[in-house]
Amino acid sequence: MLALGIEGTAHTAGVGIVDDSCKVLANVYDMVRPEKGGIHPREAANHHAEVLAPLVRKAADAAGVSLSDLDVVAFSQGPGLGPCLRTAATAARALALSLEVPLVGVNHCVAHLEIGRGVTGCEDPVLLYVSGGNTQVIAFARGRYRVFGETLDIGVGNMLDKFGREAGLPFPGGPRLEALAKGSSTLLPLPYSVKGMDVAFSGMLTAALALRTLGRPLEDVAFSIQETAFAMLTEVTERAMAHVGKEEVLLGGGVARNARLQAMVGRMAADRGARMFVPPGDLCIDNGAMIAWTGLLMHRAGVRMAVRDTVVDQRFRTDEVEVTWR
Ligand code: AMP
Ligand code: MG
């Protein structure tokens, strides 16, 4: 069985093709990179509208398959930016209708978890999902993926990108800050905001910008942001693992590419006798392969959607999805 997935919740338009053993046959993408400022939803949607059809062809070429070989088309139904979601959904509907194959709407956060399970071999992990727009600690319990902790304001990646932008770094700021942080070991005080199982980052952003105004070196501020933000994330992830009694931790989302975050979570896991799993970088960021794989799992479990069921949902919650394929 072959599934094609279309991702388009935010800045990345992606198309992936996977088979039923979770072999990723193609995973191509094109990301909006604003010259200045953040992502404008309509501009991002226009970008997706331009690139999605060529990406579908590129994915089929890369996979060495013909579109008529596809058994199912999946797309990211939410959560995300409305105009981007609608563009990806429209592309997916058109493709599925023209190929006369089933169409499956996939929850983007669930897809990060499923591709991690599919490619790393972990079975029942706590997922630390850290991306631009989302920051959640997710685990499977009683038939659903439940959110055990999350950001109360902005995603950790968004915080890194916003700070980077104010500091004059090109988008995305996360990887630039990681490189800068390597040049420092000076920990400056920043708010450590863990509230129960949840985290918050907007206060840290304000405080980090204030440190810059005071003339503190960019390397030191970058180092301090990483140490503080990643310690907060590691703490709530550990608490979720202890609470649900799981011995695997999986990283997902673009920030999961960060070596310092991996080291901190890996150390926490080792201290508990647990294991950490990290998918390859291009399966951590938003990507079409994860949508294809989750769509395939859902289809195989009997999930069927009429076109009217494929309306997008900007606030699609992780725990709304009934997980019938586990
Ligand atoms: P996503 O939203 O999952 O596609 O991931 C994009 C986010 O990941 C952006 O906020 C990036 O700044 C962030 N990101 C990517 N690579 C790194 C890295 N090495 N360190 C920190 N953040 C990163
Ligand atoms: Mg994502």
Q: What is the pLDDT along the chain (326 residues), one digit of tens a residue?
A: 999 999 999 999 999 999 999 999 999 999 998 777 778 999 999 999 999 999 999 999 999 999 999 999 999 999 999 999 999 999 999 999 999 999 999 999 999 999 999 999 999 999 999 999 999 999 999 999 999 999 999 999 999 999 999 999 998 999 999 999 999 999 999 999 999 999 999 999 999 999 999 999 999 999 999 999 999 999 999 999 999 999 999 999 999 999 999 999 999 999 999 999 999 999 999 999 999 999 999 999 999 999 999 999 999 999 999 999 99
Give the per-residue pLDDT at 43. 96
- Distance (angstroms) between ligand 2 centre and the Cα of 226 equals 20
- Tell me how far apart the alpha carbons of residues 179 and 110 are, in angstroms, rounded to a whole number: 30
Among 304, 286, 298, residue whose Cα is nearest residue 81: 286
What pLDDT score was predicted for residue 22? 98
- Whether 2-112+283-320 and 123-280 share one fold: the answer is yes
The confidence score (pLDDT) of residue 234 equals: 98
Query: Cα 292–294–297 angle (5° rounding)?
Result: 110
Mapped onto helix, strand or coil, the DSSP state of residue 30 is strand
Full-model pTM: 0.95
Domain ranges, ordered by start, for the chain: 2-112+283-320, 123-280
> In Å, how far are 59, 141, 261 from 15, measured between CA atoms?
6, 30, 27
Q: Give, for ligand 1, the residue of 160, 166, 176, 282 to mutate: max count of ligand atoms closer than 8 Å to Cβ.
A: 160
- CATH number for the region 2-112+283-320 comes to 3.30.420.40
Q: Write down the CATH number for the domain with range 123-280.
A: 3.30.420.40
- pLDDT for res 35: 76
Query: Are 107 and 230 within 8 A, CB to CB?
Result: no
- Going from the Cα of 284 to the center of ligand 2, the distance in angstroms, rounded, reads 8
> Nearest-CA neighbor of 84 among 131, 35, 46, 28?
46
Ligand 1 binding pocket (C-beta < 6 A) is 12, 131-132, 157, 160-161, 172-175, 178, 253-255, 257-258, 285-286
Element (H, E) at 232: helix 218-244
Partners of 127 in beta bridges: 138, 250
Those residues whose C-beta lies under 8 Å from the C-beta of residue 162, and which sit 6 or more positions away, are 38, 154, 173, 205
pLDDT value of position 34: 79
250: closest CA among 276, 268, 269?
276
